[in-house]
Structure 1
Amino acid sequence: MKKITRIACMLCFMAFQLNTALAQQKPNILIIISDDHAYQAIGAYGAKIAKTPNIDRIVKEGAIFNKAYVTNSICGPSRAVILTGKYSHKNGFKDNTNYKFDGSQNEFVKNLQAAGYQTGWIGKWHLESTPQGFDFYKILPGQGQYYNPDFITMDGKTEHITGYASNVIEDQVEKYLDGRDQNKPFCLVIGHKATHRTWIPDTCDMGMYDKVNFPLPANFYDDYANREAAKIQDMSISKTMQMGYDLKMLSYSKNGREPSVDRMNADQRAKFDAYYKPIDADLKARNLSGKALTEWKYQHYMRDYLSTAASLDRNIGRALDYLDKHDLAKNTIVIYLSDQGFYLGEHGWFDKRWIYEESFRTPMVMRYPGVIKPGTKSNDFVLNMDIAPTVLDAAGVSIPKDIQGESFLPLLNGKNAKGRDAIYYHYYENGEHAVSPHFGIKTKRYKLIRFYTRVNTWELYDLQTDPKENTNVFGKKGYEKLTADLMGQLKKQIEKYEDTEAEKILATPITASAQ
């Protein structure tokens, strides 16, 4: 009897060791998604003023994607694309206003679950639905708040936590990792609120860029000549950015103030007032107007934005340090990206939504020890919908046939892989900021865009001679053959990804009265 017991114990121990070995063989996966973090604000992407040492660390130890893009530049839809590996018209979540994410559809985390992974999502979710496919989640309701945020827990209750959002989210991440089943590999998504509007920094970061005078982008005072959609937008720093809400000048607006200010405790509010009230008073005394006021708003916006990004980067560093401390770094894939790009004054704007470069392009960096050579620079086109098949590929899990993204591991591990020649984009929302819905393609040199609904028109850019996209050459003499070729490529992309709505619009000629 004792012998049988000893054998049983040995078998249990061997099974434990086997499970542990299998867990160690499969890479852990950590995906960090920020909100509205512009690639122009990251040191590794060439930013001269912004300091992002921890994001830069991932680049030094892994890879930077210099041509990473999104399929639909807006918060919720971008997350849906990342989860499903499919375009918005396929996953059903086209915009933040009219849709809720259908969590019953397949997501890459469900495939990982089936392969023995623990899955979790902590932080901003913003998909207007209950997460599915996760063993654990703790999410911000809606956009969440910068100060003393609420979280929705798995039992449906709301938990209020004192602190600054970026710090609190990382605290919850480490708490989760401390309690996970260490015999299983994990896939954890960290959803940061930063750097979403209204860019309230942590109290310790307020004022860190006050001595900097930010140079105006060359096209800050863009006149939008021959660009009808840009003319009707409502996302300019001069006209749209609000003094009380966005810039925290509370004396300018008693009603239009950022809600997080009223959530602050006494200590937080005292530090907030100590920083912002003198700026408010100084602005009143100056009595600025016209371009002088617009440029003041730009400087203050940039200082708040980059100060908010400082805590984001610091907490990314905390996550990396946690992996180091717990001997997880060597077997953990780390991917950092924003849900889309963002405007830092280019064209006179803030926000996102456009197929224009600053909005369409997103920062994306990745560390995968033993697979990606440190310091790798990728200049291939990759999309946020490629993350799902990439992590499944890395985990040795079959990629479902209906996933539209493509694993970019072959582009990174030295194999003779060919990247995309063109990428497709489709933005749907017809509401906030008055950005007209549109779709289009980007090739290595050109960008062709079809606007519809608000504005019915075409735009074409030669990105080699006009990288800032200031000059629309569609319809100009000498571009006929190029335009026809790009039209053909656009049609092929639409057919490839089965975007029937775009196909119908493409087939409908624009009449003179519709322009």
Structure 2
Amino acid sequence: MRTLHPASWLIACLSTLLVVPAPSSRAGEPEWNVLFVAADDLGNVLGKSRPEGLRTPNLDRLAKRGTFFERAYCQIPLCNPSRASVMTGLRPDATTVYDLDRHFRDQLRDAVTLPQLFRQHGWFAARVGKIYHYDVPRGIGTNGLDDKPSWDLVVNPKGRDVTEEAKITNPTPHKPVSAAMSWLAAGGSDDEQTDGMIATEAIRLLENLADRPFFLGVGFFRPHTPYVAPKKYFNMYPLESIRLPDIPSDDRDDIPQAAIPHNIPKPNYGLPDEDLRKSLQAYYASVSFLDAQIGRVLDAVDRLGLRERTIVVFWSDHGYHLGEHGLWQKRTLFDESARSPLIIDWPAAKSHGVPCQRVVEFVDIYPTVVDLVGLSIPEDLDGRSLRPLLEDPERTWDGVAFTQILRPGKQKPIMGRAVTTDRWRYAEWEEGRQGRELYDHETDPRELTNLADAPEHQNKTKRLRRLFSEKARGNNPETPVIRSRL
């Protein structure tokens, strides 16, 4: 693998391309390219969950020419473990990655990641920006927790958003900007920001890989905190137009304490509404800035004549709270944190532009992409191919999603686990000893009424609990891993 700065990658890239072998494929099938686009901390802001007035024309364009999975659930709502799960196709209990510091190869030395599998079959695999975990903004411009066997080439841009950290507004100065609802309406142009540079480098790679089969990972850092975007994107969302969620005064009365992230002890961090609205404005600005950079990359795919032979996968590592339950950011099992956008544009699909409402999981991404290009799906993956839903988004689908999160506890860590079906979400903390939750998404999509203790729902709770009881490992991440085909 070659690690290059943007100014020096071109010559090395071209010399590498000369020795890249052609990929294997089934007879008569095209040699697909894969454009694998990731956002960081993008919540449920598309489709039916779109906040009023939010503008994402390029992601909307991608959804219209592909399939938007509106009910896609991550396996763990935290950046590093979620990305490790996506890239290995394995659940957190298999990777044993529950935090921001552990690398999945500490547990799975011989794992074959998604891009690594493509490399093994002759595709050229390259990465620009954040696909595996990075600290933000400290890790921008480095390899972060990258995985060397995954790539032939990596490019790590670093923009003025990093060097101008001192200009960022942080209403909670006791928290670092990486974890705070902090923001900056930046000067300068898009291409001076890290994400703008990532789009530029991705386009250059597309231009030089246009005649070779490729797997190109393009990882954007926004809208992760600090919410930094050029001023013009802030101007799209006048502060007086920003509305905060309407939260019932007794909202938290039936929520187990363990369900509330340890880093948000007070609702809304105890901040005044003005700061919350400024944070929300900055988040929307960052989303629209991200969308513009994705549009640049999609335009290049079309301009280079790659669209009909390129599978585009867009995903974010997890969902994101924007004030629901008085919560912000991630680390919960609530729907806003566990669910995140997933769009797959497969030009050979029989259906385009029809949103899919079936429950799917992020561990399904790996087997799906492998299946679509005609390779054999590894037998040890925890997900399944979504190809049937790409061909018919409204077909019958027995989808069930499993999400978990590890909390610090007084004596030992507390594991929370949730199972989501078409209608219900059931969660338990430390196998129920620290509380349980049951929500009916048909009548209560905002998850305001916890039905776990309601007598009339005890049979339902038992049935849902059985779906993951074989997989539960308690609350100690050092206990032996139990694998289940769920």
TM-score of the superposed pair, with normalisation by structure 1: 0.73
Output the CA distance in 1 between the equivalents of 2:194 and 2:477.
44
- Counterparts of 1:28-43 in structure 2, within 5 Å, are 28-39=33-44, 41-42=45-46
In structure 1, the residue matched to 2:139 is none
CA positional deviation for 1:478 = 2.0
Output the CA distance in 2 between the equivalents of 1:210 and 1:416.
38
CA-to-aligned-CA distance 1:356-392 (integer Å, 9 cap, x gap): 1100110111211132522122111111111111111
In structure 2, the residue matched to 1:105 is 111
In structure 1, the residue matched to 2:121 is 115
Q: Specify whether residues 238 and 479 from structure 1 end up closer, same or farther in structure 2 by C-alpha distance, changes over 3 A only.
A: closer
- Is contact 2:87–2:366 with CA below 8 Å preserved after alignment? yes
Q: Specify whether residues 24 and 371 from structure 1 end up closer, same or farther in structure 2 by C-alpha distance, changes over 3 A only.
A: same
CA positional deviation for 1:140 = 6.7
| AA matched with 1:34 | A
CA-to-aligned-CA distance 1:154-174 (integer Å, 9 cap, x gap): xxxxxxx98201101111112
| AA matched with 1:446 | W
Unaligned runs of 5+ in 2: 1-18, 134-143, 166-189, 479-486
SS in 1 for 2:336: helix
- Counterparts of 1:372-387 in structure 2, within 5 Å, are 372-387=350-365
Output the CA distance in 1 between the equivalents of 2:241 and 2:63.
28
- Find the partner of 2:149 among 107, 125, 132: 132
- Find the partner of 2:328 among 350, 363, 386: 350
SS in 2 for 1:439: strand
CA positional deviation for 1:427 = 1.3
CA positional deviation for 1:333 = 0.8
1:175 aligns with 2:204: yes
- Is contact 1:148–1:164 with CA below 8 Å preserved after alignment? no
CA positional deviation for 1:298 = 1.7
| AA matched with 2:31 | K
1:61 aligns with 2:65: yes
Output the CA distance in 2 between the equivalents of 1:51 and 1:237.
31
- The number of residue pairs the alignment matches comes to 416
Q: Specify whether residues 313 and 220 from structure 1 end up closer, same or farther in structure 2 by C-alpha distance, changes over 3 A only.
A: farther
CA-to-aligned-CA distance 1:112-169 (integer Å, 9 cap, x gap): 112211111210231624432211112479xx9834599xxxxxxxxxx982011011
Q: Specify whether residues 375 and 232 from structure 1 end up closer, same or farther in structure 2 by C-alpha distance, changes over 3 A only.
A: closer
Output the CA distance in 1 between the equivalents of 2:161 and 2:154.
19
- Is contact 1:31–1:189 with CA below 8 Å preserved after alignment? yes
Which structure's residues are more often helix, by fraction?
A: 1
CA positional deviation for 1:437 = 3.3
- Is contact 1:430–1:436 with CA below 8 Å preserved after alignment? yes
CA positional deviation for 1:422 = 2.2
Output the CA distance in 1 between the equivalents of 2:114 and 2:419.
26
| AA matched with 2:61 | R
Unaligned runs of 5+ in 1: 1-15, 151-160, 242-292, 506-515
| AA matched with 1:190 | V
| AA matched with 1:189 | G
SS in 1 for 2:456: coil
- Is contact 1:36–1:339 with CA below 8 Å preserved after alignment? yes
Q: Specify whether residues 65 and 406 from structure 1 end up closer, same or farther in structure 2 by C-alpha distance, changes over 3 A only.
A: same
Compare 415-424 and 19-28 and name the one that shifted more. 19-28
- Counterparts of 1:173-322 in structure 2, within 5 Å, are 173-180=202-209, 182-219=210-247, 223-227=251-255, 228-230=257-259, 233-235=262-264, 240=269, 294-322=272-300
Q: Specify whether residues 415 and 73 from structure 1 end up closer, same or farther in structure 2 by C-alpha distance, changes over 3 A only.
A: closer
- Is contact 2:23–2:122 with CA below 8 Å preserved after alignment? no
Output the CA distance in 2 between the equivalents of 1:406 and 1:299.
40
- Is contact 2:157–2:198 with CA below 8 Å preserved after alignment? no
- Is contact 2:59–2:294 with CA below 8 Å preserved after alignment? yes
Q: Specify whether residues 130 and 148 from structure 1 end up closer, same or farther in structure 2 by C-alpha distance, changes over 3 A only.
A: farther
- Is contact 1:43–1:52 with CA below 8 Å preserved after alignment? no
RMSD: 3.4
CA positional deviation for 1:500 = 3.8
Output the CA distance in 2 between the equivalents of 1:339 and 1:346.
19
Q: Specify whether residues 404 and 312 from structure 1 end up closer, same or farther in structure 2 by C-alpha distance, changes over 3 A only.
A: same
CA positional deviation for 1:94 = 2.0
SS in 1 for 2:54: coil
| AA matched with 1:75 | C
Q: Specify whether residues 176 and 148 from structure 1 end up closer, same or farther in structure 2 by C-alpha distance, changes over 3 A only.
A: farther
